[in-house]
Each structure stands twice: as C-alpha cells, then as structure tokens.
Copies of this chain bind each other. A is one copy, B any other.
C-alpha cells in the first residue's frame, strides 16, 4: 500500500477526479453522467467522460459559478440546487435568461462568443460538474454519442429559447412556466405536483417579462380558481389540465 498510496496521492493532487473507481460511482448519480449512461455511451467512453469532469461547489445562494466576460472554458451540469443566468444592462437592470435545475447544462451559450455572455448565479446551495469544453470537444471527435448529445443539447436550447418569444398574456406565461418547471422536475425524478420555487417572485417576473406584482396577482387568481396552491415558495399543482389549457399556445412540443 505504501508506494502505491504515495503515487496515487500525487496524481490525485493534480487531478482529484482521476480515480476511476470512485469517480464512476460518483458520476453515476450525476445528471450528465446519467444522460450518457442512458443514451448508450459505452463504458470506456463514460470513463473518459468522468476523467474530464471536475466537481465544483458547493456555492452559496448568490455566489456565481461564472461571470459575464470570463473566458469560456467549460460547461456546467447542475448537480444539486438551482442556478439562474442573467445579464445586466448598462442601466444596471437585470435580465434573467434562464433557470437550471439538477441535470441541466449551463454555459452552452458561451461557446460562440468564447466568453460567458451572462452571469450564472446559485439561487440556493449548488453543486455542479464542470466539463472542460476543449476536452469535451476532443472526446466528441472520438465518441459519436458524445458529439450527438452535445449537438442535441445545443439544438434543444435554441428551440426552448424561441418558445419564450411569442407575445402572450401574463396568465399564459405563468401557466406555461409552472408546467415547464413541473415537467423538468418530473424528468429528474422529483414530484411533478409539489414543487419548490427556488427563485423570487421578481426573478420569475423578470424571466417572464412581467412585473412581480403581476406574478403575485396571477398566482393568486390561479389559486382562487383551484388550479394550484401557493404557500410562499411552495407550489402545488391541483389542476394541471386547466393550466395546460391556459398555456396551450406556449407549451413546448
């Protein structure tokens, strides 16, 4: 055990995630790892994927994972907690681009400008997996499934961003927002009925292009109509069908 320990200790010091055994187990619970496992990346590819991952965090609420203008070097998979991305304009006004739940990838919009075009900020306690993008791109050259996954994720984000663009009422937006969160939580094994809003009303409002007062009012109206129940940031969907009907023109295909 003596000199082996020394050697692996040295390696680990430079690459703390180099231990495949632990890492394999570690990443089998990681969202992006699960994606790869689920979509048929072979075990060798998966191991290589793990070798280029770094576990980062925890970040406390309000801390940033990356900031506008930082040189782009990696994309991040949320491991736990919720992340928001935002831009701040010249007048200091915030524009929220998106919320990222466990299992979702942050930073794909930075590949092109080669600097991060937004801040990524933890809304609660957040852990992430960091994927060096040059390494990922290199791996994608050899493993078709990795390349395909990347293309697919990128393409999906284009579609998702487009959906938000249509003109629609506050009711439609909020119903769609709630249902979207619900289905994303469900896809990751959480409850689709009872959900926790990690973000403030004003974050939601900003994201949806509304005033926070409007968010309050619409949620209250939905609650009065029996569509859902809100208690602070805890939200329970009681009539998903009715919400779907309200949001039908905004729902992702």
Q: Which residues of A approach B to under 8 Å, CB–CB?
A: 89-91, 93, 95, 97-98, 108-113, 117, 137, 140-142, 144, 147-148, 150-159, 161-162, 164-167, 209-210, 248-249, 253
Min CB–CB distance A250 → chain B (angstroms): 9
A112's partner among B95, B109, B117, B159 (CB-CB below 8 A) is B159
Whether A209 contacts B111 by the Cβ 8 Å rule is no
Whether A108 contacts B155 by the Cβ 8 Å rule is yes
Known contacts A117-B159, A141-B141; A209/B112 CB under 8 A: no
A153's partner among B109, B112, B148, B249 (CB-CB below 8 A) is B112
Whether A151 contacts B148 by the Cβ 8 Å rule is no
Q: In the assembled complex, which residues on chain B have CB atoms less than 8 Å from the CB atom of A154?
A: 108, 111, 151, 154-155, 158
Q: In the assembled complex, which residues on chain B have CB atoms less than 8 Å from the CB atom of A151?
A: 111-112, 137, 150, 154
Min CB–CB distance A26 → chain B (angstroms): 27
Which of A112, A140, A167 is most buried by chain B, counting CB atoms within 10 A of its CB? A112
A108's partner among B97, B158, B210 (CB-CB below 8 A) is B158
Known contacts A137-B147, A209-B166; A253/B161 CB under 8 A: no
Min CB–CB distance A137 → chain B (angstroms): 6
Q: In the assembled complex, which residues on chain B have CB atoms less than 8 Å from the CB atom of A97?
A: 162, 165
Whether A159 contacts B90 by the Cβ 8 Å rule is no
